[in-house]
């Protein structure tokens, strides 16, 4: 029971997602595999298969050969790739620690992972923490095996999810963390209300208030941003942009039925338009024009197309 790892060969491991925390993920287990890595005796006890073991093996080959090592995670959504990835990084950080006190980079790497997860993961029907983008992470070590840097490349972000959340699923985590954890002062400044009031969040009306988990995650997100050197002003601007996106999704359009062929649609709730324009640093009229008109190049000439209510709504969501 709860035996989730099976070795296929010296470099391949099958991992089953247990969908719960297990004792084998603990810091104590980390240190057991660190000790196993350091034990060079011939008579040492063989530890059971584990993601930590794969990390130790890769680290050992890197130290001995000086060659780059790769770990590839493959599986369907919900198979546990993201969680296994965290375990691998956790073990590599532990192996590279030359002192009991953590270095700055050792705390920054997990925080950077959490930030990317907050902005790039979401809850789906089959997975509460589904990655909605691809990610390549490179951990950089000194000749002595000390972690000295990290690089992450992202690709294939599911941008459509921002404006088109599938039924019974959630948008990106960060929006819910933000709504749940923002202070009263932040909510007042950014004109934020309950999550069910925002079309992009896909939260049914009458849903109970924000979860304690979302609140805790928002606090951790702020701590992570601080750890990575984001200035308070830049963090505030980031949250202002998130608020602008939420308000943008609530813009409604109308059209004069007597002038459908001559005029484009116009924004019905001008107060929300003013708010979005202010948060984005744009002129209100210019923003409305962008939302209700589309410019196309036709035979070397720029032509403006008036958008109806449906077209303007699509234009809003495509921004």
1-96: CATH topology is Kinesin (3.40.850)
Q: In this predicted model, what pLDDT tens digit does every residue of 8-57 receive, in sequence order?
A: 999 999 999 999 999 999 999 999 999 999 998 878 888 999 999 999 99
3-state SS string for the chain: CCCCEEEEECCEEEECCCCCCCHHHCHHHHHHHHHHHHCCCCCCCCCCCCHHHHHHHHHHHHHHHCCCCCCCCCCCCCCCHHHHHHHHHHHHHHHHCCCCCCCHHHHHHHHHHHHHHHHHEECCCCCCCEECCEEEEEEEECCCCCEEEEEEEEECCCHHHHCCCCCCCCCEHHHHHHHHHCCHHHHHHHCCCCHHHCHHHCCCCCCCCCCHHHHHHHHHHHHHHHHCCCCHHHHHHHHHHHHHHHHHCCCCEECCHHHCCCCCCEECCHHHHHHHHHHHCCCHHHHHHHHHEEEEEECCEEEEEECCHHHHHHHHHHC
> Sign of the C-alpha dihedral, residues 29, 32, 38, 40?
negative
The whole-number pLDDT of residue 268 equals: 96
Q: Average model confidence (pLDDT) for the chain? A: 93
| 253-318 under CATH 1.10.150.130, yes or no | no
19 or 259: which leads in pLDDT: 19
Reply yes or no on whether the pLDDT at 132 is more than 90: yes
Please report where in the chains the tokens 């750890």 appear, as a residue. 227
> 209 labelled as ligand-binding?
no
Any idea which of 13-17, 117-121, 200-204, 225-229 has the lowest mean pLDDT? 200-204
CA dihedral sign, ordered 76, 172, 155, 297: positive
- Is the confidence at residue 261, as pLDDT, over 70? no
- Average pLDDT, stretch 302-306? 90
Q: What is the pLDDT of residue 101?
A: 67
The verdict on whether residue 79 carries a ligand-binding annotation is: yes
Between 205 and 270, the higher pLDDT residue: 270
Report pLDDT digits (tens) over 53-94: 999 999 999 999 999 999 999 999 889 999 999 999 999 999
Selection from 91-105, 194-208, 268-282 with the highest mean pLDDT: 268-282
Spatial separation of the C-alpha atoms in residues 190 and 279, rounded to whole Å? 9
Cβ neighbours, 10 Å, residue 304: 11
Q: Where in the chain is the domain with CATH 3.40.850.10?
A: 1-96, 102-249
- The answer to the question of whether 75 is labelled as a binding residue is yes
Determine if residue 226 is labeled as part of a ligand binding site.
Answer: no
More confident residue, 312 or 40: 312
- 145 assigned to a ligand binding site: no
- How many degrees, rounded to 5, is the angle at CA 249 between CA 238 and CA 226? 15
Q: Which CATH architecture has domain 102-249?
A: 3-Layer(aba) Sandwich (3.40)
pLDDT in the model for residue 260: 63
pLDDT tens track for 140-158: 999 999 999 999 999 999 9
Mean pLDDT for the stretch of residues 277-288: 97
- Helical pair 232-248 and 212-227, crossing angle rounded to 10 deg: 140
Is 80 a known ligand-binding residue?
Answer: yes
**Annotation-wise, does 103 bind a ligand?**
no
To the question of whether residue 169 is assigned a binding role by annotation, the answer is no
Q: How far, in Å, CA of 45 to CA of 93, rounded? A: 23
User: Distance between CA atoms of 286 and 307, rounded to whole angstroms?
Assistant: 15
pLDDT of 42 = 77
Q: How far apart are CA 8 and CA 197, in angstroms?
A: 50
User: What pLDDT, on the 0 to 100 scale, is given for residue 206?
Assistant: 65
pLDDT above 90 (res 171): yes
Q: Are 134 and 153 in contact (CB under 8 A)?
A: no
> Is the model more confident about 175 or about 298?
175
**pTM > 0.85: yes or no:** yes
Question: Residue 21's closest CA among 77, 83, 75?
Answer: 83
């Amino acid at each position: 029971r709860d035996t989730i790892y099976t070795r296929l060969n010296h470099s391949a491991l099958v991992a089953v997602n247990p969908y719960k925390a297990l004792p084998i993920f603990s810091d104590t287990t980390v240190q057991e595999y660190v000790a196993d890595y350091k034990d060079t005796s011939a008579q040492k006890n063989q530890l059971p298969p584990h993601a930590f073991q794969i990390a130790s093996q890769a680290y050992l080959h890197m130290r001995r050969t000086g060659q780059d090592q790769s770990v590839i995670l493959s599986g369907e959504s919900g198979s546990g790739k993201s969680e296994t990835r965290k375990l691998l990084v956790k073990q590599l950080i532990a192996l590279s620690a030359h002192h009991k006190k953590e270095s700055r980079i050792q705390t920054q790497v997990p925080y950077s992972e959490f930030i990317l997860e907050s902005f790039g993961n979401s809850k789906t029907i089959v997975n509460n923490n589904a990655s909605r983008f691809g990610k390549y992470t490179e951990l950089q070590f000194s000749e002595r095996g000390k972690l000295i840097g990290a690089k992450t490349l992202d690709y294939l972000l599911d941008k459509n999810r921002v404006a088109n959340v599938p039924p019974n699923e959630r948008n990106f985590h960060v929006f819910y963390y933000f709504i749940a954890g923002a202070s009263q002062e932040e909510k007042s400044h950014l004109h934020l209300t309950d999550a069910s009031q925002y079309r992009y969040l896909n939260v049914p009306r009458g849903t109970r208030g924000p979860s304690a988990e979302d609140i805790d995650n928002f606090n951790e997100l702020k701590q992570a941003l601080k750890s990575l050197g984001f200035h308070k002003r830049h963090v505030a601007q980031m949250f202002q942009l998130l608020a602008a996106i939420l308000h943008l999704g609530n813009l409604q359009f109308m059209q004069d039925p007597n002038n459908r062929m001559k005029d484009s649609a116009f924004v019905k709730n001008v107060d929300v338009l003013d708010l979005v324009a202010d948060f984005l640093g744009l002129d209100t009229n210019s923003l409305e024009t962008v939302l209700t008109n589309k410019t196309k190049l036709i035979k070397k000439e720029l032509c403006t197309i008036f958008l109806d209510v449906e077209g303007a709504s699509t234009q809003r969501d495509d921004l």
